[in-house]
Each structure stands twice: as C-alpha cells, then as structure tokens.
Amino acid sequence: MQKTDRAKQGFNLACFSAGVFDLDGVVTDTANVHCAAWEQLFDDYLRSRAQAMGERFEPFNASVDYPRYVDGKPRYQGVESFLASRSITLAYGSPDDPPERETICGLGNRKDRLFRERLAKDGVDVFDSSVALIQHLRDAGLKIALVSSSKNAAAVLETAGLSHLFDAHVDGNDIERRKLKGKPDSDIFLLAASLLEVSPSGAFAVEDALSGVEAARAAGYALVVGVDRADQRDALLEHGADIVVDDLGELMPDSASSESTLPNALVCYEEIAHYLADKRLVIFLDYDGTLTPIVDRPELAVLSDDMRETLGKVAERFTVAIVSGRDRADVEQLVALDNLIYAGSHGFDIAGPGGLHMQQERAQEFLPALDHAEAELKQKLNDIEGVIVERKRYAIAVHYRLVAAEHLETIEEAVAQAVEASASMLRRTGGKKIFELRPTFPWDKGKALNWLLDALVRSGKVEPSDKDILPLYFGDDETDEDAFKVLREGQGLGLLVAEAPQPTEAHYWLEDPQAVGRFLQRLCNADGELP
C-alpha cells in the first residue's frame, strides 16, 4: 500500500482541539523562495569576501546549509547561524541597518529585500491540499493558528488570500516585539497555543523544518507532523516528528472510509493516556514485527539497543511480558532483559521473575507428532530453495519468505499432509510468510494472557487494589488476534502494529516497531499518574 493511503486511513486530526501550522513550505510554497534568496545573499557575500581576502570562494549549499542553519529560524538568527558554520563573526548591528551594511542585521535585511523582490516578481504558490485540510479542520470545529519565523508572514498570507484560515498568528514581528526565542526553541509554539487558549497537549503542530519539529516537540504538542518537502524524512523523525507525510492531502479523511478506520495510537495518545490514568497497567508485547522489523530470516530479527533500553525503562514502571510464537529460550536470549516475563511457543511455556513458571503439561503429548511432522517436512521440502523449517519445542514454522512463488503450492501441500498424518494432534495456523503446525490443544496467546493476569494477581505481583488492572497488548500477526479478541471481550487495549489499519480485533494501530518504541517511551516518561 502507498504511503499516501496509509496516512490517509490512519490519522484523524479532527480528534484534537486545535492545530498549529507553519507557513513557508507547509501552507505556501515559499520555502524555496526563501532558500533562493538566502543562496543569492550568501553567495554574493561569500564571493566578495573571498575576493577581498584572497581566499577560495565556497558557495552556500542549498541542500545542506539551508535545512541545517537557516530553515525555520528568524532572519538574523539564520544569518548568525550560517556565518558561524563558516567561522565568520560579524557585529550584530541593528534592525535599522541598511541592507548594504556588513552586520548580521544588514545581511538579514539584504536577504529580506531579495525575498520581497522574488515574491513581487513570482507571486505566492499555495499548497492546495494544505488549504483544503485546514478548511476541513476548521469546519470540524478546530481552532487553527499559524506560526512563522518570517516577518513577511502576513504579507505572504495576504498575497495568497489565506488570512481568513487562521484564528491566531505568531510571526517574526512577534518574536522581535515580545523578545521570544526563535525555533528550535519552544517559545512561538507555546505562544500560539496560548493565543488559541488550548493546551499543547491537546493540539497538533505541522512543520517542514527540522528546527520547527524540534520546537513543536519541545512545546509538548500531542502530535508533531513533519512535512517532507526536501527528502529529509528520517531527519524530521529524529528531530521530533511523530509522523511524516509528503503532502498534507494524506491526512485528509476519506469520507468513504473514515468511519471504519482504526485510530492511530500515537495520534490519540492523550485520549489513551487519560483512559489509563487510574489503571494498573500490565504490558504484553509480541516480538517479531512488533519489537523488531520483519526480516528475511528468523535469526536476523535482532532487538535494537534503543528498543532494549526502552523496554528496560518500561519494565521499571510496569509489569512487562513478551508473548511470542518463538521458543521461550530463543526470545529470552534475543531480548536479554531479566526482569521481564517471557511466554514462548504462543504461550505454552511461560516463565518470569519470582519463580513464575508454567508449561502446559498436556503439551508433552504432542511432542511425538511434532517430531514426526518435522522429519517429514524437512525431507519433503529439502530441495526447495529458501524454505526454512524452524522447529520450536511446541510448534513448527515453515517459512516461505525466500521461496519462489511457483513452489508455494508444494509447500502448502506438504504442510497439509503433515497435519493429516498427525491424526488430529496438530493444526495449521498462519503468520507472516509462514505456515505453522501447532498442537490442537486449545491454547493460544489470548489464553496465555488471561492465565498470566490471574497468575500475577495470585502471586501478589499485581495487586487488584484501588486500581483496575488493565492489560495493553501490542502485536502484529494473526496469532496476536487471539489476544486482541480476549481484550475486546473483556478489559484492556489491543494495539495492532501494521503498515496500515486492517480488519482486526485491536483498538488502535501503530505503524511499525519504531512507533511502538515511541509509544512506550511516552508511557514510561509520563510524570506520576498518566498521562
């Protein structure tokens, strides 16, 4: 599925009370006009300086210097920051300095003259999809503010005929008048929220500049949307964006499907956190596809150091159980944290701190059937390139991710025959490019989750005191649906990890393991009671 569809289906900005939009590069296509003006200013200046000093002229690099030193910052701050990167120090001067004066303010004013000349010549191009989204959100009752470091923001809006879209403005003139700090400081985002009379924790912010997403994140906005106009998706995420889109049209709800879409857990974090506030959380996490991305071979699914650190922090605050289709010993070794509970083989084998232990006794009865099926499958599938027959204590996974499509039928047939030959001891289940043979004994991740909750209460590890115990289960695969179903029928929240919302028993979705990490970090960073 295309990235566009993914975002469109999952994020409902209308669930916030307000939104704050940057101008240049988000609403109007003026970031490139700014960039061109900066380039002209610095190239002229650096060239004449190099000539005067007999040095080599090294031009402004629009794709590196603009995002790093200038984009999103107030004019004089941008001049200072770029010149510092070239080890050039100039007197600050005064905002009244004429454009010809060699001061920070003089150069800033020169850039402004160049920008205005370009604007007068070329006019303002508008991102129609951004305007349509803002109009839609206004119609849905949201308050909308504009934040811009530019002193030209009002002029740009006026020229584009867009002033009516915003309930409040904060721009470069406010920064100067109120002595605010520019982006990446949080000042102007905090001011925008206060002008709208909302808390940043109930609002979202939209930015295309690295300094901008950083500023919005620092101000505590519930959701920071990065708009990637310059091929810098990863950098936007690193600087604080929760999600990144190429175009704001991706966030426009599709009237045909919006009612049936699953809400995104990061977008609705505040809503979830309020619900969790007076509960005692127990956190269940699947491994493959949830804590690690899906990769070609099982042994390559290695937990990142960041995720391990996050899990460690979560476990300091909440009870955490890893519930995996893998063998318990395997997943224990991959996660390598000793204060967690591990449930392996889809919950057939459970162990945790304080002597917690359970192995389905009846599972032993299925071992001969599994041994037999393993031998049969290995023998039949031996010649098919790419097949992996992964024997686990209480299951066999037949992986076909690396197999050419023409062999799939043969594999499926061999699996069906192995099930048939097991005389009702084994059943086939599915997963991500795997067929699994599992005992017909009625046990799955959902039943394991219930068993664990009871065991935790019995052992006193989780006290059913004044707070309700609330399980949160994160999973990405078919076998996790058993757990989601238990939560939907009882209490708790299921969070599906998937590229896009899909039919599920889960309550929310998260895009990938990185989003799971971000959600967990927010949970464990929340002060005192959640949120």
Number of residues in contact with ligand L263DTV3, rule: CB under 6 A?
24
Stretch that binds ligand L263DTV3, among 100-108, 134-142, 283-291, 412-420 (CB under 6 A): 283-291
**Dihedral-angle region of residue 224 (phi above 0 means left; psi in -120 to 50 means alpha; beta otherwise):** beta
Tell me the CB-side half-sphere exposure of residue 411, using CA atoms within 13 A.
25
Distance CA 270, CA 497 (A): 19
Tell me the CB-side half-sphere exposure of residue 209, using CA atoms within 13 A.
34
Q: Give me the least distance between CB of 446 and ligand L263DTV3, in Å please.
A: 13
The CA–CA distances, whole Å, from 378 to 49, 367, 414 equal 73, 16, 10
Comparison of 212 and 298: residue with beta carbon closer to ligand L263DTV3: 298
Stretch that binds ligand L263DTV3, among 144-152, 199-207, 252-260, 282-290 (CB under 6 A): 282-290
Q: Does 428 bind ligand L263DTV3 (CB under 6 A)?
A: no
Give the angle 179-180-186 at the CA atoms, nearest 5°.
170
Q: Give me the least distance between CB of 237 and ligand L263DTV3, in Å please.
A: 22
By CB under 6 A, name the one of 433, 461, 485, 488 that touches ligand L263DTV3: 433
Q: Where are the beta strands (DSSP E) in 383-487?
A: 388-392, 395-399, 426-431, 434-439, 468-475
Distance CA 526, CA 255 (A): 35
Binding to ligand L263DTV3 in span 375-394, by CB under 6 A? 390, 392
DSSP 90: -
Q: Give me the least distance between CB of 437 and ligand L263DTV3, in Å please.
A: 11
112, 286, 288, 349: the active-site residue: 286
Handedness of CA 88, 90, 95, 101 (dihedral sign): negative
Comparison of 8 and 438: residue with beta carbon closer to ligand L263DTV3: 438
Q: Does 334 bind ligand L263DTV3 (CB under 6 A)?
A: no
Comparison of 434 and 452: residue with beta carbon closer to ligand L263DTV3: 434
Cα-Cα-Cα-Cα dihedral of 162, 168, 170, 173, to 10°?
80
By CB under 6 A, name the one of 107, 479, 495, 510 that touches ligand L263DTV3: 479
Annotated active-site residue 167? The verdict is: no
Q: Using an 8 Å Cβ cutoff, are 524 and 279 in contact? A: no
Distance CA 306, CA 326 (A): 22
Q: Give me the least distance between CB of 514 and ligand L263DTV3, in Å please.
A: 15
By CB under 6 A, name the one of 111, 239, 380, 399 that touches ligand L263DTV3: 399
Contact positions vs ligand L263DTV3 (CB under 6 A): 286-289, 294-298, 301, 324-326, 390, 392, 397, 399, 401, 431-434, 477, 479
- Active-site positions? 286
